[in-house]
Amino acid sequence: MAKSAPDPQVIASAVELACRAPSVHNSQPWHWLADGSSLKLFLEAHRVPHATDLTGREAIISCGAVLDHLRVAVAAAGWQADVSRFPNPNDPEHLATVDFNPLAFVTDADRARADAILTRRTDRLPFAPPPNWAAFEPVLRSTIDTERAVLHVLPDAVRPQLAEASRLTEALRRYDASYQAELHWWTAPYEVSDGVPYSTLVSVAERDRVDVARAFPAGEHPDRRPEVDHDRSTIVVLSTYSDSRRDALGCGEMLSALLLEATLAGLASCTLTHMTELEASRDIVRSLTRGTDDPQVLVRIGLVPSIAQLPPATPRRPLSDVLEFRG
């Protein structure tokens, strides 16, 4: 019996929406191949920022996020994504194959989650505290598949140690010429389809009000959100039980679920990976979670006082660069 599949235009629209997923330095290290009734996801190794992402782990986390975004996008179009992860042991860059089954109906929640893909932003400015966190935390936890990731919510009491881990990471990399060159390359001051645009960078004054953040090159902006005198976000950690490529992919899928849930709740977010790139700072994060698992990614979650203060959407590669049809 032939497998069912969405028509090519539905696939194209879903992939285009999925590729709004966050990625390390907005490198978008993924490639999709529509092959018959299946859609295959590959890692594009030449797009991995190796001086930043020493093991390629963050690139695979990024691909996990785009994979989950794809699942959300096709659900809103009336299809269930059945995912086979690492289906080819002879090709480690073939991360997943997706087959499709039609859904009996599309819920309002399916549509709202797909809409959240378009409204989510990586926001590097300071946040006001998330309101009513005690009610939101169980909702957030319910989105996490505990076989793929562990969610730790860090208490405010450990914020000074977390900020110290962030400063330690920057200090260790201050004179790393390869890292600094790569960081500046991905934040080039001209319009491109990838990388971190200047419009999303923070000024020196704004950066001084966010104690846990990667030190990107400073932007030249008037002081935005002056009413938020320092970042009061809640910081969460996604960890995995081991440190394999499969763990990284699953963590990325859970990162997608977490970010979209926060967006649906009207909250802003900023993904942080600089503190899990070097073992010294990663060990500090591990000690703060009081776990034996491996910290993979941190996320700041908070409130933006006004929707008008949201950062612009970052650019994405053209669909023709990331999606290929075969057969």
CATH number of the domain where residue 153 is located: 3.40.109.10
Tell me: do 48 and 141 sit in the same domain: no
Q: pTM of the full predicted structure?
A: 0.96
Tell me: do 190 and 321 sit in the same domain: no
Tell me: do 102 and 151 sit in the same domain: no
- Residue 99 is predicted with a pLDDT of 97
Tell me: do 213 and 226 sit in the same domain: yes
Tell me: do 65 and 84 sit in the same domain: yes
Decide if 128 is inside a domain. no
Tell me: do 184 and 267 sit in the same domain: yes
Given a contact cutoff of 8 angstroms between Cβ atoms, the answer to whether 119 and 263 are in contact is: yes
Nearest 5°: phi and psi at 40? -110, 140
Nearest 5°: phi and psi at 93? -85, -10
Tell me: do 149 and 291 sit in the same domain: yes
- Residue 1 is predicted with a pLDDT of 40
Decide if 71 is inside a domain. yes
- Residue 283 is predicted with a pLDDT of 95
Cα separation, 20 vs 124, in Å, equals 17
Cα separation, 153 vs 283, in Å, equals 17
CA dihedral sign, ordered 116, 118, 121, 127: negative
Decide if 223 is inside a domain. yes
Tell me: do 95 and 108 sit in the same domain: yes
Q: Spell out the per-residue pLDDT of the chain, length 327, in tens.
A: 456 789 999 999 999 999 999 999 999 999 999 999 999 999 999 999 999 999 999 999 999 999 999 999 999 999 999 999 999 999 999 999 999 999 999 999 999 999 999 999 999 999 999 999 999 999 999 999 999 999 999 999 999 999 999 999 999 999 999 999 999 999 977 768 999 988 889 999 999 999 999 999 988 877 889 999 999 999 999 999 999 999 999 999 999 999 999 999 999 999 999 999 999 999 999 999 987 899 999 999 999 988 767 788 899 999 999 999 997
Tell me: do 286 and 147 sit in the same domain: yes
The residue segments making up the domain with residue 27 are: 8-117+314-326
Tell me: do 177 and 264 sit in the same domain: yes
Cα separation, 62 vs 152, in Å, equals 20
Decide if 204 is inside a domain. yes
Question: What is the number of structural domains in the chain?
Answer: 2
Q: How far is CA 243 from the centre of its chain?
A: 18
Tell me: do 284 and 156 sit in the same domain: yes
Cα angle for residues 294, 31, 47 (degrees, 5° grid): 65
Strands 30-35 and 323-326: parallel
